[in-house]
Amino acid sequence: MSEDLVGNALIGQSGGPTAVINASVAGVIAEALNNNEIEEIYGTLNGVLGILQEDFVDLASESQQTIRGLKHTPGAALGTCRYKLKKQADFERVLEVFKAHNIRYFFYAGGNDSQDTADKISKLAQEQGYALRVIGIPKTIDNDLAITDHCPGYGSVIKYISTTVREIACDNEAMGQHDLVQIVEVMGRNAGWIAAGASLAKRKDHPHDAPHIILLPEVAFSQEKFIADVQRVLKREKSCMIVVGEGLIDADGNYVSAAEATDAFGHAQLGGAADFLQGLIEQNLPGIKARTVKLGMAQRAAVHAGSKTDVDEAYLAGQAAVKAAINGETDKMITLLRGDHDHYTVETGLAPLSDIANGVKKLPREWINEDGISMNHQFVRYAQPLIQGETVVPYDNGLPVFAKLEKVRVDKQLAAYEL
């Protein structure tokens, strides 16, 4: 145990929500309530934007029923953002706000860019001699954070996508028509983890199950090979189901489809890969019916098809963040470490924020079959444990019930800040 640091805790959420990011918040709150070093537990609304605007809520005043309900509530209960701290004045403002509210513990749930932000805030506090412990909590459906075995949010998204693929396959089979191509576009940015997860829809020893073709950013796209692969599937099947990651690239490293617009961190706005493939099929295979399914935000909000394992690990990551900070750790992100056993186990670890920030963990090439469009047993062994168990969601009058924070505001201490 390190020297006690007494003060208030602040937790924020950043980037795209997941089905389990709120479970991490619940874990932080539950653990923080058990430690005398933490006097007040605040939440910042909409990530770093809430810090700049001094827009805090009192999380300790929330009912235990609401906190428990966060474990089965999608979205980001505290609100999120993709705002980038652009100038030194932004960072100075963050520290000014922390000092005004005696924030000594900062927990930030987010992906690559969010961990970079947390790292920079921590470094500035150290430069100015302000005692602050900063711990990142991993969050991303993309599963592309370095060092951690996997990320909270990933298990639920691939459980939902694999479920959806099986459901669509039943629909396609029911149509009873030949030459039907169904293209399902999924998220994932520059890594193919989500698209690869659709392979779990295949039953063991049923190689002809959907999806028949999986297109990944890790494998350069060839139009000629793609058309040949579709034709080969349609020779033996009534329909062909394709799952494509939004970040699909060609041999020159260019996205096959991306908007000119970028987000606050300079990332291309992806989407449209399914439409691109549909156009190729219609141009090169006359008479073939090609349809697209774009799951969009539904895939990261589908708590009704969530993984219990994922929820439990997200909660565990939140708890571990508090324990690490109380023990004197800072500048670290919680990682999930897979046990070296025949049966699946997981424990938490720590990695420097600077090692996480802005990195991208790609899907290992050796987990992709030589055909470039299917996954092998190594990936299945990795991913299968992450989708086990079902999220228990309460229902009322036939519809799910989600938790909603009261969001009791914390009084502001400073003058307004111009963004």
* CATH label of the domain that carries residue 56: 3.40.50.450
Check whether residue 142 and residue 237 sit in a common domain: no
Check whether residue 159 and residue 297 sit in a common domain: yes
Enter the tokens of residue 380: 């299945």
Check whether residue 190 and residue 249 sit in a common domain: yes
The mean per-residue pLDDT over the stretch 323-332 comes to 97
Check whether residue 287 and residue 310 sit in a common domain: no
The mean per-residue pLDDT over the stretch 338-361 comes to 92
Domain boundary among 283, 301, 319: 301
pLDDT reported for residue 175: 82
Asked if the structure places residue 374 within a domain, the reply is: no
pLDDT digits (tens, 9 = 90+) for 201-232: 999 889 899 999 999 999 999 999 999 999 99
Helix axes 223-236, 273-284, angle to 10 degrees: 70
pLDDT reported for residue 262: 52
Asked if the structure places residue 370 within a domain, the reply is: no
Enter the tokens of residue 320: 């571990």
Q: Is 187 annotated as a binding residue?
A: yes
Check whether residue 235 and residue 292 sit in a common domain: yes
pLDDT reported for residue 410: 98
Q: Is 22 annotated as a binding residue?
A: no
Q: Is 142 annotated as a binding residue?
A: yes
382 vs 368: CA distance, rounded Å: 13
pLDDT, averaged across the chain: 94
Q: Is 246 annotated as a binding residue?
A: yes
Tell me, what CATH number does 242's domain have? 3.40.50.460
Asked if the structure places residue 289 within a domain, the reply is: yes
Domain with 229, as residue range(s), is 155-301
Number of Cβ within a 10 Å radius of residue 1 = 6
Cβ atoms of 289 and 180 within 8 Å: the answer is yes
Asked if the structure places residue 415 within a domain, the reply is: no
pLDDT reported for residue 1: 46
pLDDT digits (tens, 9 = 90+) for 122-170: 999 999 999 999 999 999 999 999 999 999 999 999 999 999 999 999 9
pLDDT digits (tens, 9 = 90+) for 352-408: 999 998 778 999 999 999 999 999 999 999 999 999 999 999 999 999 999 999 999
Check whether residue 111 and residue 159 sit in a common domain: no
pLDDT reported for residue 271: 66
Q: Is 140 annotated as a binding residue?
A: yes
The residue behind tokens 């193919």 is 192
Positions marked catalytic: 142
What's phi and psi for 44, nearest 5 deg?
-95, 130
Q: Check pLDDT > 60 for residue 263.
A: no
Q: Is 188 annotated as a binding residue?
A: yes
Asked if the structure places residue 58 within a domain, the reply is: yes
The residue behind tokens 């036939």 is 398
Asked if the structure places residue 291 within a domain, the reply is: yes
Q: Check pLDDT > 80 for residue 44.
A: yes
pLDDT reported for residue 267: 53
Asked if the structure places residue 407 within a domain, the reply is: no
Domain boundary among 253, 269, 301: 301
pLDDT digits (tens, 9 = 90+) for 53-86: 999 999 999 999 999 999 999 999 999 998 889 8
Check whether residue 190 and residue 275 sit in a common domain: yes
pLDDT reported for residue 270: 65
pLDDT reported for residue 83: 87
Counting residues of the chain whose pLDDT is more than 90, the rounded percentage is: 88
Check whether residue 313 and residue 332 sit in a common domain: yes
Q: How many domains does the chain have?
A: 2
Check whether residue 248 and residue 168 sit in a common domain: yes
pLDDT reported for residue 381: 96
Cβ atoms of 119 and 273 within 8 Å: the answer is no
The mean per-residue pLDDT over the stretch 23-40 comes to 97
Cβ atoms of 220 and 254 within 8 Å: the answer is no
Domain boundary among 284, 301, 318: 301
112 vs 270: CA distance, rounded Å: 17
Check whether residue 315 and residue 270 sit in a common domain: no
Check whether residue 297 and residue 160 sit in a common domain: yes
pTM for the complete prediction? 0.95
Counting residues of the chain whose pLDDT is more than 70, the rounded percentage is: 96
Enter the tokens of residue 111: 């992906």
Q: Is 62 annotated as a binding residue?
A: no
pLDDT reported for residue 142: 96
pLDDT reported for residue 347: 97
Asked if the structure places residue 19 within a domain, the reply is: yes
pLDDT reported for residue 261: 52
Cβ atoms of 91 and 124 within 8 Å: the answer is yes
Check whether residue 144 and residue 181 sit in a common domain: no
SS3 per-residue string spanning the chain: CCCCCCEEEEEEECCCCCCCHHHHHHHHHHHHCCCCCEEEEEEECCHHHHHHCCCEEECCCCCHHHHHHHHHCCCCCCCCCCCCCCCHHHHHHHHHHHHHCCEEEEEEEECHHHHHHHHHHHHHHHHCCCCCEEEEEECCCCCCCCCCCCCCCHHHHHHHHHHHHHHHHHHHHHHCCCCEEEEEEECCCCCCHHHHHHHHHCCCCCCCCCCCEEECCCCCECHHHHHHHHHHHHHHCCEEEEEEECCCEECCCCECCEEEEECCCCCEEECCHHHHHHHHHHHHCCCCEEEEEECCCHHHHCHHHCEHHHHHHHHHHHHHHHHHHHCCCCCEEEEEEECCCCCCCEEEEEEEHHHHCCCCCCCCHHHECCCCCCECHHHHHHHHHHHCCECCCCEECCEECCCCCCCCECCCCCCCCCC
